[in-house]
Amino acid sequence: MAATTPISERVHIAIFGRTNDGKSTLMNRLVGHDVAIVSDKPGTTTDPVQKALEVNGLGAAVLVDTPGLDDTTELGGERMARTAKVLDKTDIAIVLFSLAEGASQLRIIEECRIREIPTIVVLNKIDATTDLEATVNSLSALTKHRVIAISALTGEGIETLRQAIVDSYKQEERLITEGFCKAGDNVLLVMPQDKSAPKGRLIQPQVQTIRELLDRGCTPICCTPDRMAATLASLASPPELIITDSQAFNEVYSLKPEASTLTSFSILFARYKGDIALFVEGVKALERITPQSRILIAEACTHTPQNEDIGRVKLPRLLRKRFGEELSIDIVGGADYPEQLGNYDLVIHCGACMFNRKHVLSRIERARQQGVAITNYGVILAALTGILDKVRTA
Ligand SMILES: Nc1nc2c(ncn2[C@@H]2O[C@H](COP(=O)(O)OP(=O)(O)OP(=O)(O)O)[C@@H](O)[C@H]2O)c(=O)[nH]1
Ligand SMILES: [Mg+2]
């Protein structure tokens, strides 16, 4: 994959360990140049640092350096909470030790086991380890993992680690439009380019979908909603599939030829990134919403004007119109997704175009475990505008 692969499509590899174990040194070693500050002062890295890189045999990845843990940190302490947030998006965990001990790393290893995150245990600083074999053996016994011995300082063992990273990860090939179209199909993409669209560019879901359709041997045809009728009229036969921006649902539905299947970018991405069946199930919670209910609207990023409009204006307006002005709606952005969701009757998440799939699934899992209904923007907009049963979701 090219260097421009978006972060959300990259395999997330995170490095965990205690302060001074050499996490930042390893990060720099794997990236090939200095991106993280290294010092012998414990606690140098205070916030997660991430850097995109290509890993031979694995492809596009992003490496995440984390602040050091220490053994006195209580589970649930601030650093641990920040680390847990990194775990939410981690596809592969590297757990670093510089000694054959480390209670905090053992907690991370256990957390990874629960979350089914492939985990690589690494012993660092072997250039300064006196009895290497004994240290490796006792660390292996302690962690119940194979131990990769390295020196982030000299580079020894790095190739073995790189191979272990590749071997640990079985990438599942996922398609955005899987089952919705086949080679040779014409696919009409209805994409409003309003003032919230980035200047001179297309938003990522549109770019990814067009690229995939080209790769799959389909013919993507793009238009804005106002050009839809003219575009349809110019085609010899109706397109097999129409994919619309959710904002234009009603307009597109009214123009949709009988023979065409209709879906939306949000629904395709809810499927690609999350769990569409759970999201469709989640909107059933609308039947139980009363004016006293509490709803959480969660956005992945803090800065997307288009999402802001849907999440902060459009959705609250639609919900209040339907359930009453006093309906309580909390809106959170970025990393502020709460640990405890039990107060809510429904969680509505954005399309999460900036998140990797693992991150979305972690958030879904949190809601599921706490018995809270969860859905996303595209699915709920379709439900609230009465169109959910008119579009194809799976
Ligand atoms: N001898 C030796 N020293 C190392 C190695 N890796 C890192 N160090 C040294 O260990 C010290 C800490 O390294 P960092 O990479 O900053 O450690 P860190 O885990 O990122 O530390 P925090 O950010 O404080 O959590 C520095 O002085 C490094 O030069 C190694 O393989 N061998
Ligand atoms: Mg560091």
CATH label of the domain that carries residue 101: 3.40.50.300
Query: Would you say 353 and 203 are in contact if contact means Cβ atoms under 8 Å apart?
Result: yes
In the 8-state DSSP scheme, what is residue 310? I
108 vs 112: CA distance, rounded Å: 6
Whether residue 21 lies inside any domain: the answer is: yes
Whether residue 180 lies inside any domain: the answer is: no
Domain that includes residue 90, residue range = 7-168
Whether residue 30 lies inside any domain: the answer is: yes
Side-chain half-sphere exposure of 217, counting CA atoms within 13 A: 3
| Co-location of 20 and 125 in the same domain | yes
pLDDT tens digits for 58-76? 889 999 999 888 755 444 4
171 vs 118: CA distance, rounded Å: 12
- Site to probe by mutation for ligand 1, drawn from 16, 23, 25 as the one with most ligand atoms within 8 Å of Cβ, is 25
Whether residue 111 lies inside any domain: the answer is: yes
| Co-location of 35 and 94 in the same domain | yes
Q: Locate the ligand 1 atom nearest the alpha carbon of residue 19 and give its number.
A: 25
User: Is the pTM higher than 0.85?
Assistant: no
- pLDDT at residue 76, as a whole number: 42
- Ligand nearest, relative to CA of residue 38: 1
Whether residue 174 lies inside any domain: the answer is: no
- pLDDT at residue 387, as a whole number: 83
Low-confidence ranges of the chain (pLDDT < 70): 1-3, 71-77, 79-80, 302-308
CATH number at residue 262: 3.40.50.11420
| Co-location of 20 and 158 in the same domain | yes
In the 8-state DSSP scheme, what is residue 33? S
CATH number at residue 309: 3.40.50.11410
Query: Would you say 232 and 188 are in contact if contact means Cβ atoms under 8 Å apart?
Result: yes
Q: Is the CB of 79 under 6 A from ligand 1?
A: no
- In this structure, the residue with its CA closest to atom 2 of ligand 1 is 125
- pLDDT at residue 113, as a whole number: 92
| Co-location of 250 and 291 in the same domain | no
Tally of residues, the chain: 394
| Structural domain ending residue among the three candidates 269, 299, 322 | 269
| Co-location of 44 and 164 in the same domain | yes
Q: Is the CB of 125 under 6 A from ligand 1?
A: yes
| Co-location of 39 and 163 in the same domain | yes
Whether residue 219 lies inside any domain: the answer is: yes
| Structural domain ending residue among the three candidates 213, 246, 269 | 269
Domain count, the chain: 3
| Co-location of 155 and 15 in the same domain | yes
- pLDDT at residue 1, as a whole number: 42
| Structural domain ending residue among the three candidates 134, 168, 202 | 168
- In this structure, the residue with its CA closest to atom 14 of ligand 1 is 22
Give the Cβ contact number of residue 85 at 10 Å.
17
Whether residue 126 lies inside any domain: the answer is: yes
| Co-location of 16 and 94 in the same domain | yes
Residue 154 one-letter amino acid? T
Whether residue 173 lies inside any domain: the answer is: no
| Co-location of 17 and 157 in the same domain | yes
| Co-location of 196 and 302 in the same domain | no
- pLDDT at residue 121, as a whole number: 97
346 vs 379: CA distance, rounded Å: 13
| Co-location of 27 and 146 in the same domain | yes
| Co-location of 143 and 290 in the same domain | no
214 vs 220: CA distance, rounded Å: 7
